[in-house]
Amino acid sequence: MSDSAGAILTVDLGAVRRNYRAVCAAFSGAEVAGVVKANAYGLGIAAVAPALAREGCATFFVATAAEAFELRRLLPAVGIHVFDGVQPGEEADFAAQRIVPVLNSLQQIELWRAHARARGRALAADLHLDTGMARLGLDRDEQRRLLAHPDELTGIDLDAILSHLAVAEDPANPMNEDQRAAFADVAPGWPSRRLSLANSSGVFLGEAFHFDLARVGVALYGANPTPGLPSPIAQVIKLQGRILQVRSVDAARSVGYGATHRVSRPSRIATVALGYADGYPLAMSNLGTAFLDSHEIPVVGRVSMDLTTVDVTDLPEGLAAPGRLVDFIGENNTIDAVAGRAKTIPYTILTGLGRRLQRIYLED
């Protein structure tokens, strides 16, 4: 059905790999890990993670245990780290599958230490220090307590000490330096293999933020890690819908649910088989644009669940016809631009890509 699918997502795995190389080139530390949580930010972990591994990426971060187990089936040999850490009942599966939990609390440390003791061998883990997110990780008091009682880490083989930057996409925000200084102050206090602070935007904050290990997600998938500056990153996705019908609409008639668009002249409206269920945001109603070849065409009316209407009045005769594909996200409408217009962030555009899309993966 590839010739008739109504809504198509093309993921350029070559671009993902080039973006990984670009981040590696910008990073002064030892290693760049790939963050592939939330199904590789919606793009499909089963395709994206192996592509990154082929590019040399040897360490991956996911959010949940289920994601870690899925990734282990895909990549038997890589390092897999879990941001949520380990929950009661998951310890044996983590250990058996060599999954590295990010230990976020004294409770998780105790859980992992007890499991290491039960297995009679050291188990790898990362340690998460909160430096300002107040979300997960040890707070300052817990850090002090743990430093004062190193026996609480007996049997835990510390891989990375890590923390999360809260505002890295805003280089002028002084919170970045506060977090960096706090991290540099305390993180070396533990006997770990490496230190990790930078996310995608953190890599571009300068070498002081690099430490040993970067954890990079959204930049791999095409979002600009340096908002306001030219992007060092290539676009990865193309979101297209197929024209189902082209119709003439008289002046003063309305289009779509809620009758939110009223045409002011005799118009031609193309109805495209792509809607918000596919991930094209409702917020683009009467606001977005799409491209047919090199022609920009406005979205008119409300984006509906399965359909979007575009005004093709000004296109050359015959260009807009049933069966033709229209580009809604891609080189001409980057995910940053679409997110900005929809008043959201590129992350939600990526993770909102729908189940129904036909997914095409381009290899290099």
Catalytic residues: 37, 257
Nearer to a copy of itself, 79 or 241 (CB): 241
Q: How far is the CB of 55 from a copy of itself (least distance, A)?
A: 23
64 binds a copy of itself (CB under 8 A): yes
130 binds a copy of itself (CB under 8 A): yes
> Which residue in 244, 287, 360, 362 binds a copy of itself (CB under 8 A)?
244
Nearer to a copy of itself, 21 or 283 (CB): 283
290 binds a copy of itself (CB under 8 A): no
Contacts of a copy of itself in 41-60 (CB under 8 A): 41-42
Using CB under 8 A as the criterion, what x/- string covers residues 135-154 for binding a copy of itself?
xx--x---------------
Q: What single-letter DSSP state applies at residue 91?
A: H
226 binds a copy of itself (CB under 8 A): no
134 binds a copy of itself (CB under 8 A): yes
Nearer to a copy of itself, 77 or 355 (CB): 355
State how far the Cα of 126 lies from the Cα of 104, in Å rounded to an integer: 9
> Which residue in 39, 226, 231, 286 binds a copy of itself (CB under 8 A)?
39
Separation in Å, CA 1 to CA 4, 342, 364: 5, 31, 24
Q: How many residues interact with a copy of itself (rule CB under 8 A)? A: 74
> Which residue in 34, 85, 225, 330 binds a copy of itself (CB under 8 A)?
85
Which range in 113-121, 180-188, 276-284, 326-334 contacts a copy of itself by CB under 8 A? Answer: 276-284
318 binds a copy of itself (CB under 8 A): no
The residues, ordered by sequence, that sit 6+ positions from 66 with a Cβ below 8 Å of its Cβ are: none
Nearer to a copy of itself, 122 or 251 (CB): 251
> Which residue in 10, 87, 97, 286 binds a copy of itself (CB under 8 A)?
87
State how far the Cα of 301 lies from the Cα of 284, in Å rounded to an integer: 9
Cβ atoms 31, 51 nearer than 8 A: no
Nearer to a copy of itself, 211 or 276 (CB): 276
Q: How far is the CB of 294 from a copy of itself (least distance, A)?
A: 25
74 binds a copy of itself (CB under 8 A): no
67 binds a copy of itself (CB under 8 A): yes
> Which residue in 55, 84, 126, 159 binds a copy of itself (CB under 8 A)?
84
Nearer to a copy of itself, 30 or 257 (CB): 257
Which range in 145-153, 203-211, 244-252, 330-338 contacts a copy of itself by CB under 8 A? Answer: 244-252
> Which residue in 22, 65, 312, 320 binds a copy of itself (CB under 8 A)?
65
Q: How far is the CB of 165 from a copy of itself (least distance, A)?
A: 9
- Residue 117 in 3-state DSSP? helix
State how far the Cα of 76 lies from the Cα of 363, in Å rounded to an integer: 21
Q: How far is the CB of 258 from a copy of itself (least distance, A)?
A: 6
26 binds a copy of itself (CB under 8 A): no
> Which residue in 188, 206, 258, 316 binds a copy of itself (CB under 8 A)?
258
Four-point Cα dihedral 13, 19, 24, 28, nearest 10 = -160
